[in-house]
Amino acid sequence: MSRTQYYCAATLDGYIADADDGIEWLTGYEGSFEGEDAEAGPLVEGGSYEGFYADVGALVSGSVTYEWVLEHYADPWPYAGKPWWVLSSRELAVPAAEGVDVRVERGSVSDLHERMIESAGNRNLWIIGGGNVASQFADAGLLDEVLVTVVPAVLGEGKPLFDRGLPGRPLQLTAVTPHSNGMVALSYRVVR
């Protein structure tokens, strides 16, 4: 059964991007952990990202996340063969490359969720960002898991992991994975 998962990296103080939507705190991070239980870091070859991504059938984000990926990673398209649903009221550019399946949609996540899950096949729907989109899924009771990799960086301000609290929806910790690069992956199931 497909799950709707919010998978991202966040700073120690709970931000997924700085105030200007930058993620240099993540891409430039150089740490280490030499504990016996350390796994390959989530951002290195063979790390947990590959395992997660293999189970992804479709993605969803807001326009800011989508436009950031277009600016930084569009060539080659990193999500070829997987539908990417972009929640936006604006017209957005779509790369004209093989394997690109971008669907810009207006409407509520409640109205679109069934189609998103269908497009994922038997795999999962990845909420790739941002905090507002994740909050919309949580508000609608459609969020199944929160998978966050904590990066030991502190910004003091920026774009939060969630835009709103999760009232009435406690999270159950299901896994803690320390990585050799000093990051820690936390996995939570949304209790309903």
How many domains does the chain contain in total?
A: 1
The CATH number assigned to the domain holding 149 equals 3.40.430.10
The reply to whether 21 falls in a domain is: no
Residue 96 lies in domain: 4-15+30-190
pTM exceeds 0.85, yes or no: yes
Percentage of the chain lying above the pLDDT 70 cut: 96
Six token digits for residue 5: 């998962």
Strands (E) across 32-157 are located at 56-62, 84-87, 102-105, 124-129, 145-151
73-87 pLDDT tens trace? 888 899 999 999 999
The reply to whether 24 falls in a domain is: no
The reply to whether 84 falls in a domain is: yes
Six token digits for residue 49: 């990202």
